[in-house]
Amino acid sequence: MEALFGSGLRTEALVAIGRLSRTYPSEIARVLGRRLNEVQRAVASLERAGAVVSKRVGGTRIVELNPRFRARDELYKLLLRMSESPAYEKYWAKLRRRPRGIGKPL
Amino acid sequence: MKELALSELAATVASHLKRHGIDVVVVGGSAITAHVPDVYTSMDIDFAVTTGIDRRKISRALRDLGFHEQGRVYASPSTIYVLDFVADVPHIDQHAITEYVELQTAAGTFRVYRLEDAIADRVAAFIHWSDSESLGVAERTVKASKERTSWNRIESALSQIEILNADAVARMELAQARLRAAIENRA
The answer to whether the beta carbons of residues B62 and B53 sit under 8 Å apart is no
Give the residue from chain B lying closest to A102, CA to CA: B72
In this prediction, residue A5 carries a pLDDT of 81
Calpha distance B132→A92 (Å, rounded): 6
In this prediction, residue B107 carries a pLDDT of 94
In this prediction, residue B87 carries a pLDDT of 86
Predicted confidence (pLDDT) at residue A6 exceeds the cutoff of 90: no
> Which region among A1-5, A89-93, B105-109 has the lowest average model confidence (pLDDT)?
A1-5
Give the one of B73, B125, B130 whose C-beta lies nearest to A21's C-beta. B130
Calpha distance A96→A93 (Å, rounded): 9
**Three-class secondary structure of residue A60 per DSSP:** strand
Calpha distance B14→B37 (Å, rounded): 18
B132-151 burial by CB neighbour count: b if 16+ within 10 A, else e?
bbbbbbbbbbbbbbeeebee
Q: Is B125 on the interface with A (CB under 8 A)?
A: yes
Using a 10 angstrom Cβ sphere, with 0-12 exposed, 13-18 middle and 19 or more buried, the burial of residue A92 is buried
The answer to whether the beta carbons of residues A99 and A38 sit under 8 Å apart is no
Query: In tens digits, what is the pLDDT along chain B, a chain of 187 residues?
Result: 668 999 999 999 999 999 999 999 999 999 999 999 999 888 999 999 999 999 999 999 999 999 999 989 999 999 999 999 998 999 999 999 999 999 999 999 999 999 999 999 999 999 999 999 999 999 999 999 999 999 999 999 999 999 999 999 999 999 999 999 999 987 6
Calpha distance B110→B35 (Å, rounded): 12
Q: In this complex, do B43 and A105 lie within 8 Å of one another by their Cβ atoms? A: yes
In this prediction, residue A4 carries a pLDDT of 78
CA B48 from centre of chain:
9
Calpha distance B87→B61 (Å, rounded): 18
The answer to whether the beta carbons of residues B109 and B102 sit under 8 Å apart is yes
Q: Is A19 on the interface with B (CB under 8 A)?
A: yes
For B116, other C-beta atoms within 10 Å of its C-beta total: 23
**Three-class secondary structure of residue B83 per DSSP:** strand
In this prediction, residue A2 carries a pLDDT of 67
Distance from CA of A84 to the nearest CA of B (A): 9
Which residues in chain B are contacts of A19 at CB distance < 8 A? Answer: 130, 132
Q: Is B162 on the interface with A (CB under 8 A)?
A: no
B88-111: pLDDT as tens digits: 999 999 999 999 999 999 999 999
Q: Is B168 on the interface with A (CB under 8 A)?
A: no
In this prediction, residue B103 carries a pLDDT of 97
Give the one of B71, B125, B166 whose C-beta lies nearest to A103's C-beta. B71
CA B154 from centre of chain:
15
In chain A, % of residues over pLDDT 90: 79
Which residues in chain B are contacts of A93 at CB distance < 8 A? Answer: 132-133, 136
In this prediction, residue B96 carries a pLDDT of 95
- Give DSSP secondary structure letters for A24-40: -HHHHHHHHT--HHHHH
One-letter amino acid of B116: E
In chain B, % of residues over pLDDT 90: 91
**Three-class secondary structure of residue B38 per DSSP:** coil
The candidate with the shortest Cα–Cα distance to B117, out of B130, B98, B132, is: B98
A22-62: pLDDT as tens digits: 999 999 999 999 999 999 999 999 999 999 999 999 999 99
Give the residue from chain A lying closest to B69, CA to CA: A103
Backbone angles phi, psi at B77, to 5 degrees: -65, -15
For A8, other C-beta atoms within 10 Å of its C-beta total: 13
